[in-house]
Structure 1
């Protein structure tokens, strides 16, 4: 079993965490607490923008649904008259200096998630220096900034913090990395403004539901209901934090899935997808953005959209109105 699989089994299964992970988790906890303290006392400084900043993130390593939530927030805020833009670190890309993405950005340069968000028509900026990257969004006319996966990046001051929670796996064994999946202690939840649960929401959480029942051809944009793939096996690839969520969603529509897992943010090459036979190949939007340049007939992406509680959007907009004043 690979190391990543071993850790995942200990984080979310019945297997105990390897002994060697405990001192590393202790050291990780000390360093993250020290970093938070340096920001709190002002030795490290957060930069504040002239517009409200909404941070979307999570406490756990791996996928929880941050990108669908970010896209849904962009749509909801735009519908209420805001001009949102998204700032991202650009994981998986090579871009280091702050940059505003163009109309057809390269995922190898800017990262898969920023390119996927940009495909929705929203201004997106990436860069290691997030405050400098976010400033480019203001120059582009944005009057609210959403920081994607920014909960632990304190250099950018924020007005609203949203923590996304995996409704199925929750917080695993509750330990810090690498003994568990946590980036920060669970006590961090007390300081966020909103908790959004991808699945069945608990007390104090807003529910988010991911909906997707169509496949879209990577070659010509044709659409097909997922139920149209029943009756024969399909290949499914996922280079996301929680591949089983994608595979299970396909099985829920009656598909016979042959799942192929890849590391999160994997840079696909054509040979990665050279599976035997002529069965259809289905993938997430995040993976499709990296495969479209060498797509073949029979390759499909399965877009999802996040359905949010209207009361959550109302409360968020009230916070932003107050912050903008």
Structure 2
């Protein structure tokens, strides 16, 4: 019989990488990034994780959303000391993933009681609905293939959606009637790889070149299933977005849809590559991060390396 030993397993890695899938109502947050004296998604989540894990944590996120922007499909990762990870279930039969989710839910719900607008008991504005161990090569930011956002508008047209006060924090209300066909036509020249300087607030050392894969405006039928019936909805997909890029794309489209600009103006703006001629930025509350996609595990490292190289290029992406 081999004697049992309590000695540490020297083959066990010092930490495990954990992917988090989360959603939040951005109304009560000053964006994702932690800021002193401000309630942010990163700040609240980091504090909650540190409480549960009893260790400091550092988060990497797929999309650094602005203040007021919502998320239904945000992704982040963190590295957890192996001992802390294995200790999460305690004496229960739960997996570390299950234990983390359950304990986080309680901490986040309690935090929400002290937010700017106290939440109903047991309900918070930040929910982590998925947690799982992933390969060390997984990087929530650089391994991502695409990000998908949607923007919702209730305009003043006869076919427009009725104003729903319960959703006023997720839908932009407009009195004007939007020409959705003109907005769709105006967006076509923006598809593909371009320098979106006129549509971005550039960060120092970061490129403003992005590959826009989809830019689709449509008015949903009033009787469409779900809560979006009658709304004008944008679906936009890219490899990545720079600061305020989606809201600038919306702002330019609204200028066309309301007749203030012709349908060729967004393309001229793109070609100008100028912050002096920058597109107007639409309000944040109509925007939601819906999905982030990733390659198969075997391709994670290669995708992350490609993204890092590309975004360091002088001529080329967040």
Give the TM-score normalised by the residue count of structure 2. Answer: 0.23
TM superposition score normalised by structure 1: 0.22
More helix by share: 1
Q: Which protein shows a greater Rg?
A: 2
